[in-house]
Amino acid sequence: MQKREVLLEVKNLKKYFPVKNFFGRKVGDLKAVDDVSFVIYKGETFGLVGESGCGKSTLGRTILQMLKPDAGQVIYHGKDIANLPKSQWKDLREKLQIIFQDPYSALNPNWTVRELISEPLKNAGLSREQCDTRVRELLKLVNMNEDDMEKFSYEFSGGQRQRIGIARAVASYPEFIFCDEPISALDVSVQAQVVNMLKDLQQELGLTYLFTAHDLSMVHHISDRIGVMYLGSMVELGKSEDVFRDPLHPYTRALISAIPVADPKLGRESSRIPIEGELPSPMNAPRGCRFCTRCPHATERCREERPELREVADERWAACHLL
Amino acid sequence: MKNRRLELAKRTFLRDKGMWFALAFLLFIVAIAIGIGFTDADPNALNLQKMCAPPDSENLFGTDELGRDYLTRVIYGARVSLLVGVLAMLASVTIGVLVGLVAGYFGGVVDSILMRIVDVFCAIPWIIMVTVVGLLFQKGLASIVIVIGCFGWMEISRLVRTETMTAKNREFVHYAELIGVPKWKIILLHILPSIFPVIITAATGAIANAIMVESAMSFLGFGVAAPQSSWGTLLKTAQSTLSKAPHMAILPGVLIICTICSFNKLGDLLRLFVEPRAMQEGK
Amino acid sequence: MLKYLVKRLLQAVPLLILITMLCFTLINLAPYDAMDAKVTDKMTPADIEQMREEMGLNDPIPVQYLRWVKGLLQGDLGQSLINRTNIATDLKEKIPNTIKLVLPAYATAFLLAIALGLIAGRYKNTWVDKLINSTASIGLSVPTFWVALLFIYFFGLKLDLFPVMGMHSLGEDSFEDFLHHFVLPYAVLTIGFLPDLVRYVRSSTVTQFDEEYVTVQRAFGSSSGTILLRHVSKNVLLPMITKLGMALPMLVTGAVITETVFAWPGIGVYFTTAIRNLDYPVVMVVLVLSGSLVILGNLISDILCAVIDPRIRIGR
């Protein structure tokens, strides 16, 4: 594969939420994103998987600077946007967009479709006529009717709303879109529709996605590369094909073995690996490997020493002492 | 969603006779209060031959201690009471919404400071605060409005603050923040419209409250001064002439009760808009 | 818990200071001061000036404020500017009078409200409930002083059953005489307190009856009466206790209007007279007193809340 262009580089990113006791004193940190580093290449879809509460959404939002990181860098076009003065931020802002999980909460119910999609355009300084023209283009792009412009978002189904959200996200010609579980809240029947639309738009507009979802097979389907998160840190990273065919980290193996198979007669090569125990609270993650409390292969070393994410094979990264 | 709210409210409205009465009464009293200005009824026309007269065919509700037609005076009193109610409501809603929005949206230190101020205002019983501040101003309509307005906003600001904090965490607000929409625009275009129903509900309550406070103040002698008179002032006079002219105590009191009751009822209806769940309680 | 208590008390101090400063400033902003009430035609401007100096009215406001706070801390509440009486002595006389009126009235309203509210909530949407609930709704809109006027007219003037002024007849000091004077203001005040409390009890009863545990009890075959007495009433009454904390300041300021109408010699009349006369030392003391009671009342109700309901965490 030829040398790919790095679009975004995340370096040692940390986002902690202070936890207070009921007297209002800080008693600790919830380490939602704990020292995560990776790169996203231009034009790819980077899938992020993990249980809910593992910090996927926080990671994405911290990259977009919707949440202020506590430490680390996010390098975009050679600039560290995590520590950028506000004045230089402005132009970059429209290039980084988001699609939300809940298409109900993501769209102001008091606004019409025209107003919703125009919001980023207006903010970029377009005139009303320019906005309207662009909104028409965008509606066509997401297979919606021009007549829908004056309707309110509550008059649409979940899938249609999500398409309005997509239209809004691509309105100002972004480069990077964080798709924060864009299909989780949708009916299964429209999930594929939305995913395919996202793929098509990626081709057409040269977009780069950071994509999160619960549904592993959907992530498999859309992603070029995959990162697996567990308790705020990245435990495995690699090409989508590789990770799914041959998961390295015990956690990834367990996750992938849990994907249901459509035809029971086919069975699966490896039987299901159950994950024992409960997900520890991110507030007091184990001292050593975060997964050691639930890992069937955990050794003394795993409990004492935290494994780094390292390249264990070509384009394969994992954080495990046993590899 | 919106349609259903409207429908729910409409259904309740049609079914609830009290609601009809409330609305009809409010329209009626406002119409009369405005309308009397166009007639030649004079609230200050003296008739010293006929002081404290009980109701008869000429003076439907009798006359007061100076022989003035009582019905005319009560209707002119309605003007003052309603005007004070509406203006004071506008004042307290404006302050309350402003403080609540700013505290709820910005949070942190700003929130702490503003909420401490609210605590201070709340720690002083209204009757005391209102009378003390009432001293600052020359007696008159404007000062009453300022006084009641300035001390009726705390509840509204707490309510608006809570609602703002909820609205602030909606994803569409996060989105506007992401793309760098200026904060004042976010507040004005996203947050204010989302909490608007709450504001309207609070406003009807504030009118009722203001009318009540005004009447109490006037009754204690800290309110509207002669020759202007509100319902409260009329009742104050009625107290001193109670043995001679008990009829003077009835009409203003009944009107106060009906007006406040109607505004409260209206607030109940509007509350259905805000939280359709409240509907279930009525079933 | 102790730490929390101390912290809450310490938080209350700046609040109190703020309140006093606010009031002091407000009173000094008034376009006239205590002298205006004392000046008579016979005084020369020099006399007036001398009196002002004597009373310390010519000092800068911060000096006046500090002098006043210092006195307060030493337990000296100051003197009334108008009749030169000691405020502490006045309060010792007036506060019990107010309490004698407010405490029985609030207690009656409280108990009555619990009974009526539980009944209304239990028989939701029957005629009993409709009667109680709509009466309470209308009651909320009725000015206390208007009820007082009606009572004075009917029971005082028309039927001549009760006296309508004061706490005792002149020269009379018996308990029967007190009781005789007490009935009307007590009734008015109880009616004033009642509607809000009834609505509160009713709505929490209704909420409780919607809870799952009631459904479960019903499924077990418990009768409505048993559920009401054994389960619902407990959950309704516990939060009511916190209302008692909030009601603490009422002991001083809860009856200003009623006292005024009936010329009851309590804090209300004392205070309104002081306001009319710009007697700012008196006004200030009453303000601080009621402010502290509100803060104390909230504190007590928070603590009661935490003690009663283990689910409620104190603080934020």
Same domain, yes or no: C166 and C295: yes
Rounded to the nearest angstrom, the minimum Cα separation between B20 and chain C is: 15
Same domain, yes or no: C27 and C54: yes
Rounded mean pLDDT of chain C? Answer: 81
From the list A82, A43, A49, A48, the residue with the least C-alpha distance to A66 is A82
Contact: B212, C143; criterion CB under 8 Å: yes
Q: How many CA atoms lie within 13 A of A163 on its CB side?
A: 23
Q: Is residue B79 part of a domain?
A: yes
What pLDDT, on a 0 to 100 scale, did the predictor assign at position A139? 92
* ipTM for this model: 0.86
Same domain, yes or no: C6 and C108: no
Same domain, yes or no: C69 and C169: no
Sign of the C-alpha dihedral, residues B146, B152, B154, B157? negative
* Residue C309: pLDDT over 60: yes
Band of pLDDT at residue A35, cut at 50, 70 and 90: confident
Instruction: Extract the tokens encoding C38.
Output: 């004392």
- CA C272 vs. chain centroid, Å, equals 15
What pLDDT, on a 0 to 100 scale, did the predictor assign at position C311? 57
User: Taking the CB of residue C211, how many other CB atoms lie within 10 A of it?
Assistant: 13
Same domain, yes or no: C29 and C133: no
Which candidate from A64, A97, A108 shows the least CB-CB separation from B172? A108
* Residue A135: pLDDT over 90: yes
Cα separation of A202 and A43, whole Å? 7
Rounded to the nearest angstrom, the minimum Cα separation between B135 and chain C is: 6
Please write the tens of the pLDDT for every residue from B210-247: 999 888 888 888 777 767 788 888 888 888 887 777 88
Which chains form contacts with chain C, at 3 or more CB pairs under 8 Å? A, B
3-state SS of chain C is CHHHHHHHHHHHHHHHHHHHHHHHHHHHHCCCCHHHHHCCCCCCHHHHHHHHHHHCCCCCHHHHHHHHHHHHHCCCCCECCCCCCEHHHHHHHHHHHHHHHHHHHHHHHHHHHHHHHHHHHHCCCCHHHHHHHHHHHHHHCCCHHHHHHHHHHHHHHHCCCCCCCCCCCCCCCCHHHHHHHHHHHHHHHHHHHHHHHHHHHHHHHHHHHCCHHHHHHHHCCCCHHHHHHHHHHHHHHHHHHHHHHHCCCHHHHCCHHHHHHHCCCCHHHHHHHHHHCCCHHHHHHHHHHHHHHHHHHHHHHHHHHHHHCCCCCCCC
Four-way CATH pick for A6-84+224-318: 3.10.310.10, 3.40.50.12500, 3.90.420.10, 3.40.50.300: 3.40.50.300
Cα separation of A295 and B201, whole Å? 56
- For helices B141-150 and B126-134, give the axis angle rounded to 10 degrees: 140
Q: Is residue C82 part of a domain?
A: no
Q: Is residue C80 part of a domain?
A: no
Residue type, A11: K
* Residue A167: pLDDT over 90: yes
B174 and chain A in contact, CB less than 8 A: yes
Band of pLDDT at residue C189, cut at 50, 70 and 90: very high
Q: CB contacts < 8 Å between A and C, how many?
A: 12
Number of domains within chain B: 1
Same domain, yes or no: C96 and C62: no
Q: Is residue B203 part of a domain?
A: yes
Same domain, yes or no: C158 and C255: yes
Rounded to the nearest angstrom, the minimum Cα separation between A107 and chain B is: 5
DSSP line for A16-73? EEEEE-TTS-EEEEEEEEEEEEEEEETT-EEEEE--TTSSHHHHHHHHTTSS--SEEE
Same domain, yes or no: C93 and C215: yes
What pLDDT, on a 0 to 100 scale, did the predictor assign at position C32? 59
- What are residue B63's phi and psi, to 5 degrees? -125, 165
Contact: B181, A123; criterion CB under 8 Å: yes
Same domain, yes or no: C174 and C252: yes
Cα separation of A7 and A81, whole Å? 13
Which residue matches tokens 């009651």? C139
* Residue C27: pLDDT over 80: no
What integer is the mean pLDDT of A281-295?
80
Q: Is residue B268 part of a domain?
A: yes
Is residue B101 left, alpha or beta, with left meaning phi > 0 and alpha meaning psi from -120 to 50? alpha
Query: Among the ranges B208-217, B272-281, C169-178, C233-242, which has the highest mean pLDDT value?
Result: B208-217
Contact: C138, B238; criterion CB under 8 Å: no
Residue type, A108: N
B199 and chain A in contact, CB less than 8 A: no
CA distances from C17 to B113, C5, C22, C63, C72 (A): 15, 19, 8, 15, 12
CATH number at residue B229: 1.10.3720.10
What integer is the mean pLDDT of C58-77?
80
For B181, the closest chain A residue by CA position comes to A123
Domain boundary among C73, C108, C127: C73
CATH number at residue C136: 1.10.3720.10
Residues composing chain A: 323
What pLDDT, on a 0 to 100 scale, did the predictor assign at position B95? 94
* Residue C160: pLDDT over 90: no
Please write the tens of the pLDDT for every residue from A238-265: 999 999 888 889 888 888 887 776 665 6
* Residue C152: pLDDT over 60: yes
From chain A, pick out residues whose CB is under 8 angstroms from the CB of C4.
23
From chain A, pick out residues whose CB is under 8 angstroms from the CB of B2.
109, 152, 154
What pLDDT, on a 0 to 100 scale, did the predictor assign at position B194? 85
For C316, the closest chain A residue by CA position comes to A22
What pLDDT, on a 0 to 100 scale, did the predictor assign at position C31? 59
B128 and chain C in contact, CB less than 8 A: yes
Instruction: Extract the tokens encoding C66.
Output: 């500090």
Please write the tens of the pLDDT for every residue from C88-100: 888 888 899 999 8
Contact: B194, A107; criterion CB under 8 Å: no
Min mean pLDDT across B1-10, B136-145, B215-224 is at: B1-10
* Residue A1: pLDDT over 50: no
C143 lies in which domain range?
Answer: 87-308
Residue C307 vs residue C127, higher pLDDT? C127
Contact: A24, C313; criterion CB under 8 Å: no
Residue type, C175: F
What integer is the mean pLDDT of C121-136?
88
Contact: B175, A90; criterion CB under 8 Å: no
User: Taking the CB of residue A319, how many other CB atoms lie within 10 A of it?
Assistant: 24
Band of pLDDT at residue C188, cut at 50, 70 and 90: very high
β-partners of residue A80 are A75
Please write the tens of the pLDDT for every residue from C194-219: 998 998 898 888 888 777 787 888 78
Min mean pLDDT across A165-169, C78-82, C183-187 is at: C78-82
B162 and chain C in contact, CB less than 8 A: no
Please write the tens of the pLDDT for every residue from B161-212: 988 988 888 889 999 988 888 899 999 989 988 888 888 888 988 999 899 9
Min mean pLDDT across B179-188, C26-35, C113-122 is at: C26-35
Band of pLDDT at residue B282, cut at 50, 70 and 90: very low
What pLDDT, on a 0 to 100 scale, did the predictor assign at position C116? 92
Residue type, B202: A
Which chains form contacts with chain B, at 3 or more CB pairs under 8 Å? A, C
Q: What does the domain layout of chain A look like in residue ranges?
A: 6-84+224-318
Cis ω for the linkage preceding A18 (within 30 of 0): no
SS3 state at A318 = strand
For A23, the closest chain C residue by CA position comes to C315
Min mean pLDDT across A91-105, B162-176, C12-26 is at: C12-26
Same domain, yes or no: C296 and C262: yes
Contact: B2, A154; criterion CB under 8 Å: yes
Q: Is residue C297 part of a domain?
A: yes
Domain boundary among C48, C73, C98: C73
Q: Is residue C107 part of a domain?
A: yes
What integer is the mean pLDDT of A14-33?
77
Number of domains within chain C: 2
What pLDDT, on a 0 to 100 scale, did the predictor assign at position B52? 74
Please write the tens of the pLDDT for every residue from B72-125: 888 888 888 999 899 999 999 999 999 999 999 998 889 988 988 888 888 777
Residue C303 vs residue A303, higher pLDDT? A303
Same domain, yes or no: C158 and C214: yes
Contact: C257, B260; criterion CB under 8 Å: no
From the list C138, C135, C103, the residue with the least C-alpha distance to C117 is C135
